[in-house]
Structure 1
Amino acid sequence: MEYLATRGYRCVAPDLRGYGGTTAPPDVASYTAFHIVGDLVALLDTLELAKVFLVGHDWGAIIAWYMCLFRPERVTALVNTSVAFMRHIMIRTGPDFVNPIEYFKRAYGPNYYKCRFQEPGVAEKQFAPAHAKRLMRQLLCHCFSHGVFCDEEMDDNKFPTSPLPPWLTEADIDYFVTSFEKTGFTGAINYYRNFDKNCELAAPWADAKVQVPTKYIVGDDDITYNFEGIQEYIHAGGFKEDVPLLDEVVVIPGAGHFIQQKLFH
């Protein structure tokens, strides 16, 4: 943001609902893609910004894809990182459609983290605010590396708190910890609990294209770049068909999930 600001851009990085300084509604149903996109549109209206360049990562990327589908008139261009547009898990598309959570169960088993996150209260026992510092170190250092996410309990024996990578500082960890000690992890986990609902709500866009100029950037060690069939989709034409104004796909060798830290280190 500092780099862009010195070049004359106004940069806005909101805490989405459930994160940081923004409120965290207790109801799971308050975290659908429609709610989050609605928050962003309301923010743009409040700031009197008709259109913006949109940049997303991970869940931010998923929300950015939905925003470009629902409200493309508010987006000048998109740079999305980590998560490609995946119609088969974002939009209910027909009678043979499999809900995302069922898709993930079939592909990766019931212990896959997206599946384990579904039952309210279960994941919260693991992701307790009191464990925030250990959890953040393990998540950032281990769990999104080399195309995998740890599917079992993040205990210190299996995922020890090793030294931080060069792009991550103790001050960074402390900032994240302070935020999650305040809000807890439930708001963040509730995004995952709306995978199926998002697909249902987005069904009217089943045949829609992402009609926004787009650049996509991903690390070759990113968990999302190693989903079943995703590389063929990205590079064999399916991605370009769904995102006709896709300008470029950039794959960063040796980069994992947190690509923005890796690139700017």
Structure 2
Amino acid sequence: MNELITTGNAVETVRHRTTWMESGPAHGPLMIFLHGWPALGLVWRQQMQHFAARGWRCVAPDMRGYGGSSRPDSTGAYAVRELVADMVELHNALGGAPAVWVGHDWGSAVAWSMASQHAERCTGVVNLCIPYFSRGFALPELAHLVDRDLYPEHTYPVGQWDYWLFYREHFTRAAKEFEVDVAATLALIYQRRPKREAGMRAFTAGIRAQNGWFGAAGRAPVTSRDDMLLSQDDFDAMVAAFNDAGFIGANAWYMNDAANLAYAADAPNFGRIGIPSLFIHATNDLVCDSTQSRLAEPMREDCERLTEVTIEGGHHIMIERPLDVCHAIDEWVRLKIEGLDQAVRDRDR
């Protein structure tokens, strides 16, 4: 069923403006989808249509720094505490009923924080590719989990997260190089990745050594759109949005490690998550490597009701394998979210 998705929705407070896409019945249980870097809410289109057809009210905001949402000038405005506050305001505008929060990439850091900091606003939490870190999603918490057989420390001090340091050292330049040819940048980022082979390293591990994402060229190479990931309409919408907003706000999410560690330390119950949680691994994601490294280990200690599913595919698993992602969430809801699945089915009778 191809459910209608409405756009142009917005909530504006004295501190922030959030725009969002919406699909499904206005009084259905809430499912809120949070995108990561660099994206828009539209990357969740197929999941929204799937769950709207099953009676859910599906909402996908453009996060702070993206699309029609606010784009503050200060990098400190992109700390996770501020991003969570944005989602609290959005949630209030949607009526405040407990929701299933679904995140990907940096959106996962926000969704996990909704579960740890605002459990009363959550029925459950689902995240793709980025596991939970109760001490904070920050480079110091990631670096010690790097696979040192694959990334020897003397050559790769922070392993596949090298680009994170590049943003710190060349913040403005990094954004400007993405902006030289936005269509080429997005076409390069939104490509399916090959099946993972033993010994494969993430391209991102050598960003500083090669003097930037694109080396001496200073711009993305011309790349054809992967039409298996983004339709022409969605790709054009992404290009238009990033031509307007640029990458400064998107990259600023990487600039707040100290603030993000401090925010995580404020979480109740030492950050342990007691609500039902689903984590979806992507086998071919070399950066967020949760299948062959220790990256997911802290999550298993700190999520009390955790379910894990592994899907073969790359980092953008929700658009590469959309039905598999939908089915994983369907099954988790059926088994773990007591009463909610039955309530949705009863409403549809």
What is the TM-score when the length of structure 1 is the normalising length?
0.83
Q: 1:240 maps to which residue? A: 300
Indicate the SS of the match to 1:53.
strand
CA RMSD of aligned residues (A): 3.0
SS in 1 for 2:158: helix
The question of 1:256 aligning with 2:314 is answered yes
2:234 corresponds in structure 1 to: 172
In the TM superposition, what is the alpha-carbon distance from 1:39 to its structure 2 partner? 0.7
1:122 maps to 173
Does residue 113 in structure 1 map to residue 160 in structure 2? no
In the alignment, the residues of structure 2 paired with residue 230 and residue 244 of structure 1 have an alpha-carbon distance, to the nearest angstrom, of 22
CA contact (8 A) 2:192 2:320 kept: no
User: After superposition, what is the alpha-carbon deviation per residue over 1:168-222, rounded to whole angstroms, capped at 9, x for unaligned?
Assistant: 3332221111111111111110101113320123223383201220111121011
Please give the secondary structure, in 2, of the residue aligned with 1:41.
helix
Shift of 1:240: 2.5
Deviation, 1:157, is 10
Q: Say yes or no: does 1:200 pair with 2:262.
A: yes
TM-score (norm 2): 0.64
Out of 3, 7, 10, the position equivalent to 2:57 is 10
The 1:54/1:241 distance shift into structure 2, 3 A limit, reads same
Q: Aligned residue for 1:148? A: 202
Q: 1:131 aligns with which of 181, 202, 215?
A: 181
Matched position secondary structure for 2:131: coil
Answer yes or no: is the 8 Å Cα contact 2:128–2:280 preserved in 1. Answer: yes
Q: Contact 1:82–1:224 at 8 Å: present in 2 too?
A: no
Measure the CA separation in 2 of the matches of 1:30 and 1:198.
12
Label 1:74 to 1:145 Cα distance change in 2 as closer, same or farther (>3 A).
farther
The one of 186, 208, 212 aligned to 2:248: 186
Which aligned pairs between 1:31-42 and structure 2 lie closer than 5 A? 31-42=78-89
* Aligned partner (choices 217, 223, 226) of residue 280 of structure 2: 217
- State the identity as a percent: 28
Taking the TM superposition and a 5 Å limit, the aligned residue runs for 1:37-56 are 37-56=84-103
- CA 1:142 to 1:114, structure 2 compared with 1: closer, same or farther past 3 Å? farther
Deviations 1:32-85 (A, max 9, x none): 111010110111112212211111100111111111111111010111111111
* Distance change in 2, residues 1:217/1:145 (3 Å): same
Deviating beyond 3 angstroms after TM superposition, the runs of 4 or more aligned structure 1 residues are 98-105, 142-147, 155-160, 229-234
Task: Give the structure with higher Rg (CA).
Answer: 2
CA 1:209–1:14 in structure 2 vs 1: closer, same or farther (change >3 Å)? same
Q: More displaced, 155-164 or 171-180? A: 155-164
Distance in 2 separating the partners of 1:177 and 1:240 = 38
In 2: Cα distance, 1:48 partner to 1:158 partner: 43
Higher strand share: 2
Gaps of 5+ in 1: 92-97
* Cα 1:38–1:156 shift into 2, 3 Å: closer
Deviation at 1:238, TM superposition (A): 4.4
TM-superposed CA distance for 1:5, in Å, is 1.0
Q: Distance in 2 between matches of 1:195 and 1:30?
A: 13
- Residue 233 of structure 1 and its aligned partner are, at CA, apart by 5.4
